[in-house]
Amino acid sequence: MLDFLTNDLLQLSDSAVRFAIPLLLACLAGLYSERAGIFDIGLEGKMLVAAFAGGAFSAFAGMSVADGGWGMGGWAVWVGLGAAIFASIMLSMIHAFASITLRGNQLISGVAINFFAAGITVLVGQYWFKMGGQTPQLRGGQRFEPITLPFAEALRDVPVIGSIYYDLISGHNIIVYLGFLIVALTWWILFRTRFGLRMRAVGENPGAVDTAGISVVKLRYSALIITGILCGLAGAYLSLGTAAAGFGKDMTAGRGFIALAALIFAKWKPIPAMWATLLFGMLEAIGSKYQTLDLGIIVLPGQFMQALPYILTVVILAGFVGKAIPPKAGGEPYIKER
Amino acid sequence: MQLLKTLIATTALVGAATFASAQANPAVIFDLGGKFDKSFNEMSYTGAERFKEETGIEYREFELQSDAQREQALRRFAQAGNNPVVVAGFSNATAMATVAPDFPDTDFVIIDMVVDAPNVRSVIFAEHEGSYLVGVLAAMASESGTVSFVGGMDIPLIRKFQCGYTQGAKAANPDITVLATMTGTDGSAWNNPVKGGELTMSQIQNGSDVVFAAAGGTGRGVLQAAADAGIYAIGVDANQNYMQPGTMLTSMLKRVDVAVFNAFNDVNNDEFTAGIQVMGLAEDGVGWALDEFNEGLITDEMKAAVEEARAKIISGEIVVADYMADNSCPVE
């Protein structure tokens, strides 16, 4: 039993963190957008485009000049990250333009972004690399390497705390730590700053915000820029921070939608969003580690384990978590004069 | 009248097209996972390209995007007068069985599955034999006494790889532990490198120091995770040794390219035969890869052991159990 706790549980948590990070970043991205009153089902598409831009630009930047690259060595991954964030912001701005300025239907704009992303990534990827939409395998400075935190090696042999520190907390790449930092930052912005207050207000009652002399349009655009940045990080994590080491067709695999479910589960709050995505990550980790789970009384088959995150999504959306009230003005374009 | 004229003209055109393509007008269909999966589908592509290079005859191709397109793609190519129509992938059997009888004059080839029809050639590989060989190598290279296997979709064919691998590993070292994990239960399991990497990390934490990936595009993540952790990995289908030089122990070769090339060529030379074609060790349909990327990792002792196993399998002295024969594996 003790062995299970120290060993298996640690491994599971470690794996859960890695599974959860892209969900967490996408979930927080959705949080900014929906809190400002813009539904965003295009998270998936933004992540996908970011993953592609990250993989492609990191590949170009890391290739030697002789091979037609830019020969930037260890800086390549940062070029990739920058490109990922930029690409994601661009898509986010298209969504903003369609749903804020043109007052279009936000769901339709989101769906369009998802389809656009699925197609454009493979098309451009094939044109650039001729590898069926994949990017070349990234190596060394083209990827985010795991970071060993200070004293991790020294504390490794300390019982319990040492192994938790070494196995679970240390040894992830920078985006993982950034992700958790952003949770705290988001809480602070949302509940402790003027911008956060106004952003929440604009999602509840844009009319009131407007009456107070604050620009609804400007606030919503700023929120969607943040959404773009966070989706960019989530996508960059997939192509630059995992063992995929590059972009592959449709590599987001529905994570954007799971993130939306987690957002509802978390009732549009940052700290619960972290727990919700960690829960999804844990389920995925359990499904991967134990193909069949022997509970003593019954044996759960592998198919059930793999379906768990989706079953949970349905259960959550069916209202199991109590009343989840979305921001009141969500999905409604704001028209100044009626 | 005008309509009739058009009709006649069209019929004549189609007839001409069919006539012109009497020799070979080949088409190949790639399965889910994509043409450039560096593995199974890419091997089909390599075979088709080789044919084009040697004969100068162009071929047509189609990349399946979803299960719904299987029958449609086959039918389209057959209707367009393509001959032969080659499709790689076990999932196409039902579609093949439906379409083939409708086009008795077209030669069809299906790889990895048996379809019983007078105009269909079914090419199956003895993956269990090739996997046995890399299992022997894995067990000899392992220092921890634990090796592992990452499969793509959980289907009997992939269990066949796993079972052969386990038998080989146990033959070389009876005390070895073989861990095995499947990526998923649907088509996306062939193209999920993120999860492949995660599964590999989990196996490494449980002590594995050699991992065999039989998972199509998912394998990319497996090989990368193994390289990151500094353990050995074994590639599949194509020679993947170049992908992570230094940590690639070997690759289990499955010569899909030869099957595709032969199919194209046989029709071109009017030598096409229908029926089941088994490609095993004796036919060089499966094997293990040794090249400049892994020669430093394979000791003379390993080489001798694996060549001995190979000879014994061919002579029938060693019989490797085939999982698909009765859907069970004699070893765990």
Locate B273 and state its tokens.
């035969």
Nearest by CB to B200, from A243, A251, A303: name it: A243
Nearest CA in chain A to B186: A303
Is B238 near chain A, with CB under 8 Å? no
Residues of chain B with C-beta less than 8 angstroms from the C-beta of A245: 193, 220-221, 224
Do the Cβ atoms of A244 and B220 come within 8 Å?
Answer: yes
Helices (H), B1-92: 2-20, 40-55, 69-79
Q: Pick from A15, A1, A21, A18: which is nearest to A290 by CA?
A: A15
Q: What is the pLDDT of residues B241-277, one digit of tens each?
A: 998 888 999 999 999 999 999 999 999 888 888 999 9
Answer for the pair A229, A26: CB distance below 8 angstroms, yes or no: no
Residue B116 CB neighbours (<10 A): 11
pLDDT at residue A338, as a whole number: 57
Q: Any idea which of A102-106, A148-152, A271-275, B104-108 has the lowest mean pLDDT?
A: A148-152
pLDDT band at A269; cut points 50, 70, 90: very high
Residues of chain B with C-beta less than 8 angstroms from the C-beta of A251: 192-194
Do the Cβ atoms of B34 and A303 come within 8 Å?
Answer: no
> What is the Cα–Cα distance from A122 to A234, expressed in whole angstroms?
19
Beta bridge partners of B61: B28
- Measured at the CA of A110, the angle between CA A104 and CA A114, to 5 degrees, comes to 145
Return the CATH fold of B2-126+257-279. Answer: Rossmann fold (3.40.50)
Q: Is the pLDDT of residue A329 over 50?
A: yes
Do the Cβ atoms of B34 and A249 come within 8 Å?
Answer: yes
Which burial class, exposed, middle or buried, applies to B51 when counting CB atoms under 10 A from its CB (0-12, 13-18, 19+)?
buried
Nearest by CB to B195, from A250, A288, A302: name it: A288
Residue ranges of domains in chain B: 2-126+257-279, 128-254+286-326
Q: Are strands B210-214 and B232-237 parallel, antiparallel or unpaired?
A: parallel
pLDDT at residue A253, as a whole number: 83
pLDDT band at B45; cut points 50, 70, 90: very high
Answer for the pair B179, B247: CB distance below 8 angstroms, yes or no: no
Residues of chain A with C-beta less than 8 angstroms from the C-beta of B198: 15, 18-19, 242-243, 285, 288
What is the DSSP annotation of B254-289? E-HHHHHHHHHHHHHTT----EEEEE-TTTTSEEE-
Q: Is the pLDDT of residue B22 over 60?
A: no
Q: Pick from A21, A13, A16: which is nearest to A177 by CA?
A: A21
Nearest CA in chain B to A242: B194
A319/chain B closest Cα distance in angstroms: 28
Residue of A14, A128, A249 to mutate for B, most B C-beta atoms under 10 A: A249
Residue ranges of domains in chain A: 10-253
Residue of B194, B206, B293 to mutate for A, most A C-beta atoms under 10 A: B194
Is B122 near chain A, with CB under 8 Å? no
pLDDT at residue B167, as a whole number: 95
Q: Is the pLDDT of residue A73 over 90?
A: no
Nearest CA in chain A to B217: A248
**Percent of chain A at pLDDT above 70?**
95
ipTM score: 0.83
Q: Pick from A215, A223, A218: which is nearest to A186 by CA?
A: A223
Beta bridge partners of B276: B122
B296 contacts: CB under 8 Å, gap ≥ 6: none
pLDDT at residue A155, as a whole number: 78
pTM for the structure as a whole? 0.84
Nearest by CB to A248, from B191, B201, B205: name it: B191
Do the Cβ atoms of B197 and A238 come within 8 Å?
Answer: no
Q: Is the pLDDT of residue A307 over 90?
A: no
Residue B172 CB neighbours (<10 A): 22
**Percent of chain B at pLDDT above 90?**
58
Residues of chain A with C-beta less than 8 angstroms from the C-beta of B36: 131-134
Q: What is the pLDDT of residues A138-182, one digit of tens each?
A: 888 888 988 888 877 777 777 777 777 887 888 889 999 999 999
CATH superfamily of B128-254+286-326: Response regulator (3.40.50.2300)
Residues of chain B with C-beta less than 8 angstroms from the C-beta of A129: none
> What is the Cα–Cα distance from B115 to A66, expressed in whole angstroms?
50
Query: What residues 27-46 of chain B have any CB closer than 8 A to a CB of chain A?
Result: 34-37
Q: Pick from B54, B64, B57, B114: which is nearest to B90 by CA?
A: B114
Nearest by CB to A243, from B206, B225, B243: name it: B225
Do the Cβ atoms of A248 and B217 come within 8 Å?
Answer: yes
Size of interface A-B (CB pairs under 8 A): 81
- Residue B252 main-chain phi, psi, to 5 deg: -85, 110
Distances (CA, A) of A13 to A285, A295, B181: 8, 19, 19
> What is the Cα–Cα distance from B93 to B111, expressed in whole angstroms?
9
| SS3 assignment for A155-206 | HCCCCCHHHHHHHHHCCECHHHHHHHHHHHHHHHHHHHCHHHHHHHHHHHCH
Residues of chain B with C-beta less than 8 angstroms from the C-beta of A243: 193-194, 196-198, 200-201, 221-222, 224-225, 228
Query: What residues 287-326 of chain B have any CB closer than 8 A to a CB of chain A?
Result: none
What is the DSSP annotation of A88-119? HHHHHHHHHIIIIIS---HHHHHHHHHHHHHH
Do the Cβ atoms of B191 and A249 come within 8 Å?
Answer: yes
Is B201 near chain A, with CB under 8 Å? yes
